[in-house]
Structure 1
């Protein structure tokens, strides 16, 4: 994980605002470096300023950025993980690997634009980048086709204003900045006297969703096929293997007793618990795994409980945090993990956030999530922000009644994001099926997947990375996405013609058989069932803002689409 800042100016080299430099440095605490260069043509002068921070997670040494190719003067700022290149694993440090290929591709090329696109299109993994080719005086920037890393641009392109590109929006980039789109690479030809952005399409695109409709839907089996379940486990395990194995050990965690390299954003729900269960098969048994579970003190919920006649009689016995839905689910799934995977040290990190703490950090969260700016954005990112900080308490081994302060040492955080979009986990998917059958469900799944990069990923990256952590998304690996999209809807979900679809607020009884599981994300539920986690397999989907109780923290009349107040 790294932070990127690039400024192109006609007036002189840009000086990064000290507060912005601090925020950029928090994304990459291992190095923060600036490189400046000047372009002089017959008609104009351009001043280029590149700053990059580095969170080192690949290779034996920290690869300081920006990377400058001394013979040519070309420059790369890279924020990402290239897991594979042209179908082959990327060895050692991926930043060095990608920079070498880009620099070499441009040295003798007669089609620089085409060759840069070819290189980028062969990368499998999340990334954002800024690349300056000194030979052609062209600057490229963008993020991967799924949008798993943040990159914003202020594209007021004229000779009297700076053009700025950055991982996080701050004072140095301005309030007109926007997240860049995910399906294209942007090009600036710096030989031209006027700056103008050109969009180039990636050579490869994500595969299309399978929109098949069953010929005889009434005769479908109640559950996905055994082969689909087996393939899911195999492909998700392969995705996880890339993301959890080979993480270096750093001096910063050597002083910690039993340091964790991997932590999971853990609500106790289906997606994150499946990730945890498969991680157990991949990591050494003596390596602990931290489960980060966040719960908030929401005044609206507390007041509602205290005003209830029934609740008031036992209010003193109710812990605000332990009563949060995600805390209840989290502890339940944690207990099942401990039982099924007893050889592992699982650390349930209870992260309790008082209302005062939320207010103290609120303005910082709002700045980090920008240009996203709604109440729903705030309620989601507040939970991610404090969960990623990883500061809470854990039970003392052998004594579940005594808790001690604990902050995770893990720099890699795993998230289950993408499972709902790929496997039909939202209430609107059930509604679409009820309204228009498999055709409606397919259309809704396609919409959700296509907008995940602009709706979630860039925003979440800006917030989580503030703590010097990198989020990895096993469900959004390119090969796994290709597999998930190729499946027909009835192999992913348990929605069946002729069977009533439960409403999102209806609570089904505990599943006694696999056929009784909730229909949404049925394929994942079947996988969990066969992995011995029958309790977690039956967990209902719950949005993070309701599970952690971050929804409507200030005032109960706000809507999710309302713009947040910055006061």
Structure 2
């Protein structure tokens, strides 16, 4: 896992706090590149956690007319050489792009968790993107006329705006005019797209025009051994939260109406999982120099589970510890996990007793 950052009239190398956080994500290498574009300065910085290739791939990568910052893994590289890292492979592919359409086609072909920043030097096009599910962190910050995009953040005071960049698709803009953006969105519901665009407009004063949709290619995932495996997405997909039980049991209506209300609650949780969990989890794991894997939200599995009816995933006519996430419990029981499959859900911070009761759970932690 790496740390990437891009500042528009915004220093990176001299920001000691940010530098410290970035280097913790990538302890093997760090580099910054500063360039002038007319009356502004762009600074690109990256720290690298070396996990792929025979040799460490330093970033930012200069390939043809492009500068590239990449944090993530690509699972569906058809012709990858074992000595080559994902970043090197991607940089070669990007160098062959001649316009925005080419970049869109390349981005939508990628499968796996990633966040990336690409700058085309001659056209002055800055491309920003997170994968379809928003699994790898990328934060947008603004103070006055200064903009920064970064894997992590050290800004929590009221004078600065900091927000998880919504994984809506591929953002493109000219850094000379940093508030006028184009968005090539991932295929998603119009309502969800409109809400997130409105949030960006209100907080950062952006004008975002929506272009043609991108449709991510769902190719076979080839998983290799990784360091940390987490269960993110299980509750959102299979109905594991108390609010899911309440959405069914407390709703006044017949069973079909109760299931429809439950479906709406599940959809709401799924559509905001990137904001509530994924970016945070990525920062926590990467801050320890590790790579995170979340098998429940791999594209193929998530797509299949979301095609099922809520009645196939959970049953709140059964008691707590049985009806919630019933699909997973039955599967676990079938595998021989008979005792575990009947345990009540318990959040890890309480089960492990690491939760600090003096902290308010609704407050934003400075550690995330």
Q: Do both proteins adopt the same fold according to a TM-score greater than 0.5, normalized to the shorter chain?
A: yes
Q: Are the counterparts in 1 of residues 134 and 167 from structure 2 also a CA contact under 8 Å?
A: yes
Partner of 1:94: 86
Residue 105 of structure 2 aligns to a residue in which SS? helix
Residue 105 of structure 1 aligns to a residue in which SS? coil
User: Which one of the candidate residues 161, 167, 172 is aligned to 1:176?
Assistant: 161
Q: Quick one: structure 1 residues 16 and 5, their matched pair in 2 at CA, closer, same or farther if it must change by over 3 Å?
A: farther
CA positional deviation for 1:114: 2.5
Partner of 1:129: 116
Q: Are the counterparts in 2 of residues 82 and 90 from structure 1 also a CA contact under 8 Å?
A: no
Q: Are the counterparts in 1 of residues 132 and 167 from structure 2 also a CA contact under 8 Å?
A: yes
CA distance in 1, matches of 2:40, 2:180: 16
CA positional deviation for 1:563: 5.6
Q: Are the counterparts in 2 of residues 146 and 182 from structure 1 also a CA contact under 8 Å?
A: yes
* Structure with the higher helix share, 1 or 2: 1
CA distance in 2, matches of 1:550, 1:524: 26
Task: Confirm or deny that 1:164 pairs with 2:148.
Answer: yes
CA positional deviation for 1:164: 1.3
Partner of 1:200: 183
Higher-Rg member (1/2): 1
Per-residue deviation, residues 525-566 of structure 1 (Å, max 9, x unmatched): 122122222122222211223222344521xxx653246699
User: Which one of the candidate residues 438, 441, 453 is aligned to 2:274?
Assistant: 453
Q: Are the counterparts in 1 of residues 239 and 266 from structure 2 also a CA contact under 8 Å?
A: yes
CA distance in 2, matches of 1:79, 1:565: 22
Residue pairs, 1:29-428, within 5 angstroms: 29-40=27-38, 45-69=39-63, 71-72=64-65, 74-84=66-76, 92=82, 93-106=85-98, 112-156=99-143, 161-170=145-154, 175-190=160-175, 192=176, 194-205=177-188, 242-243=222-223, 245=224, 247=225, 262=226, 412-428=227-243
CA positional deviation for 1:203: 4.5
Q: Are the counterparts in 2 of residues 117 and 203 from structure 1 also a CA contact under 8 Å?
A: no
CA positional deviation for 1:3: 0.2
Task: Confirm or deny that 1:536 pairs with 2:337.
Answer: no
Partner of 1:15: 13
Partner of 1:560: 361
User: Which one of the candidate residues 7, 22, 25 is aligned to 1:24?
Assistant: 22
Structure 1 gap segments, 5+ residues each: 107-111, 207-237, 248-261, 263-411, 509-517
Partner of 1:525: 329
CA positional deviation for 1:471: 0.8
Per-residue deviation, residues 229-286 of structure 1 (Å, max 9, x unmatched): xxxxxxxxx86xx33x2x5xxxxxxxxxxxxxx5xxxxxxxxxxxxxxxxxxxxxxxx
Per-residue deviation, residues 118-159 of structure 1 (Å, max 9, x unmatched): 2111111111111001131111112112111111112457xx
CA distance in 1, matches of 2:263, 2:9: 47
Partner of 1:432: 247
* Number of equivalent positions: 329
Residue 260 of structure 2 aligns to a residue in which SS? helix
Q: Quick one: structure 1 residues 170 and 421, their matched pair in 2 at CA, closer, same or farther if it must change by over 3 Å?
A: same
CA distance in 2, matches of 1:491, 1:91: 42
CA distance in 2, matches of 1:478, 1:472: 12
Q: Are the counterparts in 1 of residues 169 and 186 from structure 2 also a CA contact under 8 Å?
A: no
CA distance in 1, matches of 2:363, 2:23: 31
Residue 117 of structure 1 aligns to a residue in which SS? helix
Q: Are the counterparts in 2 of residues 83 and 89 from structure 1 also a CA contact under 8 Å?
A: no
Residue 115 of structure 1 aligns to a residue in which SS? helix
Per-residue deviation, residues 326-347 of structure 1 (Å, max 9, x unmatched): xxxxxxxxxxxxxxxxxxxxxx
Q: Are the counterparts in 2 of residues 150 and 168 from structure 1 also a CA contact under 8 Å?
A: yes
Per-residue deviation, residues 33-70 of structure 1 (Å, max 9, x unmatched): 11222223xxxx2221111011122333321111111x
CA positional deviation for 1:166: 0.9
RCO higher in structure (CA 8 A, sep ≥6): 1
Q: Are the counterparts in 2 of residues 17 and 171 from structure 1 also a CA contact under 8 Å?
A: no
Residue 343 of structure 2 aligns to a residue in which SS? coil
What is the RMSD of the two structures over their aligned residues, measured on CA atoms?
A: 2.8
Residue 5 of structure 1 aligns to a residue in which SS? strand
Structure 2 gap segments, 5+ residues each: 190-219, 252-257
CA positional deviation for 1:17: 1.8
